[in-house]
Structure 1
């Protein structure tokens, strides 16, 4: 499983992009919200999901951890595949989707591409609580840029990526990283975070 890609945006298309990672170009399918954040020739980190089929392997990328989490929840619902899930994320913001599910707004969900009344009702039934939990984490989710370690931005970014690859979410570890008075290396930061988790 490819947890994330960090590379240069080589090309942008309507529903996908090419990310150059040390000379290897990855075709990554993306939602409109992620596409709007990408600039050609700029470096980017995308959280990824690899969809394996009999005839192809397709990589889906997301600019934020929350968008990735919502995508995973969507494809867990019967009848919702990666393409439909990506279409949903292109047609509605994560916040409005969470609101529609939480308030059981079938009329809004049926306006999304590939979603009929029965599928909308299934989405609400299966995801109401799960999506709600993700939405509640939004306020606790701190962006990497909010961590003020002057001159150590790369260390913070690499630490964040490493913790995500270990299976932790930003909502879990960002409050801990924020308590660090200084950050000297990726190794020391990870040890600090893991030590704090062990106390819980």
Structure 2
């Protein structure tokens, strides 16, 4: 199955885009938000959801993996098919969809064409916990990355203060090692031990 396609936009409509990959045109169904983000002739990479039913095979494309993951979550809800999931993603951006689900705002969610109150409530019921857990995990990961980035910046400044030039500092700092340091003191001690 396809995981992603990289190629040139040969043709686009509000429903799908034809991606030319080495002379082969792939018809990829997209949301209106994806349609607005791409131009004719542009080189793009689309992450693919392979929709396979008895008589039907469709490629559905997204510009990033997070969008595809959310689309797959929407499809896991009973009664939500490819067209309806794409309609939801055409109406609201990814962050808004997550916020509507977590805050249980079915009144705003049901503004999506062909998505009634019952189905809106079903989406919220099925996905609220999953999305809440994902948001907490991604928030923690973001904080951890910020912490490592700050330690690396402080370490560079400390080494510059000790008289080391940028070339030597680049050799001394290992980005993977920086992730293992608890704080700046730990980072300085470990780096000076290498000298």
Aligned to 1:112: 112
Q: Secondary structure at the match of 2:14?
A: coil
TM-score scaled by length of structure 1: 0.67
Aligned to 1:103: 103
Say which one has the larger Rg. Answer: 2
Aligned to 2:84: 84
Q: Map residues 138-177 of structure 1 onto 2, 5 A cutoff.
A: 140=142
Aligned to 1:43: 43
TM-score scaled by length of structure 2: 0.69
Q: After superposition, what is the alpha-carbon deviation per residue over 1:61-94, rounded to whole angstroms, capped at 9, x for unaligned?
A: 0011111110000000000001110010000111
Q: Which whole-Å CA distance do the structure 2 matches of 1:39 and 1:135 have between them?
A: 31
Q: Check conservation: 1:9, 1:17, Cα contact below 8 A.
A: yes
Q: After superposition, what is the alpha-carbon deviation per residue over 1:2-29, rounded to whole angstroms, capped at 9, x for unaligned?
A: 1111111110101100000111100000
Q: Secondary structure at the match of 2:131?
A: helix
Structure 1 residue runs of 4+, over 3 Å off?
133-136
Aligned to 2:30: 30
Q: Secondary structure at the match of 1:108?
A: helix
Q: After superposition, what is the alpha-carbon deviation per residue over 1:130-188, rounded to whole angstroms, capped at 9, x for unaligned?
A: 12234442783x9xxxxxxxxxxxxxxxxxxxxxxxxxxxxxxxxxxxx469xxxxxxx
Q: After superposition, what is the alpha-carbon deviation per residue over 1:35-62, rounded to whole angstroms, capped at 9, x for unaligned?
A: 1221111111001011112222110000
In structure 1, the gaps of 5 or more residues are 143-178, 182-200
Q: Which protein has greater RCO, CA pairs closer than 8 Å, 6+ apart?
A: 1
